[in-house]
């Protein structure tokens, strides 16, 4: 058995320096609810663990002057839940993050870990994509921004380059009449992996949908932004025909696997059903926002 070092730096520069210097032998630890399970199963054996929970920029939540939010990549679901304003402004993103695991898992697990773990079924990812969230990443060559949908590269893989750490999520300011929702289908009532997950974010003006984004999880190698579904909703009064067209776009976007949780046919059908239900919740919230 090889030795493993553990580092808990208090600055991002220190974390990036150590992570990059280890040249692939290091792993980031946020909540540890994925990585520790993988280490125990012998799937990963890092020579260095870089714990990022002691870095203020990665553990803070800021409401910006324009009404947007910047959420540190390592903020836990429990801490986000306690924020006095976040759930009011982004109820769909919050409900997606709060679906992850149990109370114990919520105390540790982060949206950053959910995204960087690269699971196509990660619950927070479709909601973040629907929200139009971007991420800031920092590596040995500096900082860059990218949309959340550009981060996953395939099951267990991301487009972060060696030594890069996810720093934060930026959620845009909210228009009046805008809201969001997230629903997932799981075979059990809780503590399971999504068969399909659907995030919808939309804006209503005088009953007409003026903006929409749809994120779909667990139906392809990466979580998808379904632009054709959003296009079907925008300009409509969210009538049955528009919603059915959007549901059909979701079904058409599916490239799922068959596994013990659901077949290709089942996942594809559920994608359309979830789209309809998620739109209904987001629209109801937007009507009150």
Among 15, 80, 94, 100, which residue sits at the site for ligand FAD (rule: CB under 6 A)? 100
Q: How far is the CB of 118 from ligand FAD (least distance, A)?
A: 8
Residues near 182 by Cβ (< 8 Å), separated by ≥ 6? 92, 93, 95, 96, 99, 123, 126, 127, 130, 197, 198, 199, 200, 278
Site string for ligand FAD, 50-89 (x = CB under 6 A): --x--------------------xx---------------
Interaction between residue 99 and ligand FAD (CB under 6 A): yes
Q: How far is the CB of 264 from ligand FAD (least distance, A)?
A: 21
Query: Which stretch in 117-125, 221-229, 234-242, 268-276 sits in contact with ligand FAD by CB under 6 A?
Result: 117-125
Interaction between residue 109 and ligand FAD (CB under 6 A): yes
Query: Which stretch in 105-113, 208-216, 220-228, 265-273 sits in contact with ligand FAD by CB under 6 A?
Result: 105-113
Using CB under 6 A, count the residues that bind ligand FAD: 31
Q: How far is the CB of 73 from ligand FAD (least distance, A)?
A: 4
Handedness of CA 107, 111, 112, 116 (dihedral sign): positive
Q: Assign 156 to helix, strand or coil.
A: coil
Q: Assign 275 to helix, strand or coil.
A: helix
Interaction between residue 201 and ligand FAD (CB under 6 A): no
Residues in 254-283 that interact with ligand FAD by CB under 6 A: none
Do the Cβ atoms of 160 and 169 come closer than 8 Å?
no
Q: Give the count of beta carbons closer than 10 Å to the beta carbon of residue 8.
A: 14
Among 123, 134, 177, 238, which residue sits at the site for ligand FAD (rule: CB under 6 A)? 123
Among 4, 18, 61, 105, which residue sits at the site for ligand FAD (rule: CB under 6 A)? 105
Site string for ligand FAD, 12-31 (x = CB under 6 A): ---------------xxxxx
Q: How far is the CB of 237 from ligand FAD (least distance, A)?
A: 33
Number of residues written out for the chain:
289
Do the Cβ atoms of 58 and 16 come closer than 8 Å?
no
Which residue carries 């199963």 as its tokens? 41
How far is residue 42's CA from residue 215's CA, in Å, rounded to a whole number? Answer: 32
97 forms beta bridges with none
How far is residue 29's CA from residue 35's CA, in Å, rounded to a whole number? Answer: 7
Interaction between residue 183 and ligand FAD (CB under 6 A): no
Residues near 284 by Cβ (< 8 Å), separated by ≥ 6? none
Q: Where are the beta strands (DSSP E) in 3-68?
A: 5-7, 26-29, 48-51, 61-63
Among 16, 35, 218, 275, which residue sits at the site for ligand FAD (rule: CB under 6 A)? 35
Joined together, the tokens standing for residue 228 give 């054709």
Residues at the site binding ligand FAD, with contacts judged by CB under 6 A: 27-35, 37, 52, 73-74, 99-102, 105, 108-110, 112-114, 116-117, 122-123, 165-166, 191
């Amino acid at each position: 058995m090889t030795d493993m070092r553990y580092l808990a730096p208090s600055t991002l520069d220190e974390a990036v320096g150590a992570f990059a210097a280890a040249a692939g032998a290091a792993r980031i630890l946020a909540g540890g609810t994925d990585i520790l399970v993988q280490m125990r199963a012998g799937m990963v054996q890092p020579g260095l663990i870089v714990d990022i929970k002691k870095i203020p920029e990665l553990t803070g939540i800021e409401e910006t002057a324009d009404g947007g939010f910047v959420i540190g990549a390592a903020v836990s679901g429990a801490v986000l839940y306690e924020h006095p304003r976040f759930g009011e402004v982004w109820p769909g993103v919050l409900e997606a993050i709060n679906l992850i695991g149990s109370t114990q898992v919520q105390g540790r697990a982060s949206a950053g870990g959910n995204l960087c773990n690269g699971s196509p079924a990660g619950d927070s990812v479709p909601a973040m994509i629907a929200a139009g969230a971007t991420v800031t990443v920092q590596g040995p060559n500096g900082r860059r921004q990218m949309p959340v949908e550009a981060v996953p590269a395939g099951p267990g893989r991301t487009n972060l380059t060696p030594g890069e750490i996810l720093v934060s999520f930026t959620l845009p300011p909210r228009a009046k009449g805008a809201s969001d929702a997230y629903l997932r289908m799981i075979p059990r009532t809780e503590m399971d992996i999504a068969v399909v997950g659907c995030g919808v974010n939309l804006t209503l003006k005088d009953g007409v949908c003026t903006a929409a984004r749809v994120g779909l999880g667990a139906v392809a190698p990466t979580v998808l932004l379904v632009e054709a579904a959003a296009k079907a909703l925008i300009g409509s009064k969210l009538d049955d025909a528009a919603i059915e067209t959007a549901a059909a776009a979701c079904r058409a976007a599916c490239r799922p696997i068959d596994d013990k949780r659901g077949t290709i046919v089942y996942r594809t059908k559920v994608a359309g059903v979830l789209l309809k239900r998620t739109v209904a919740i987001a629209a109801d919230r937007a009507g009150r926002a």
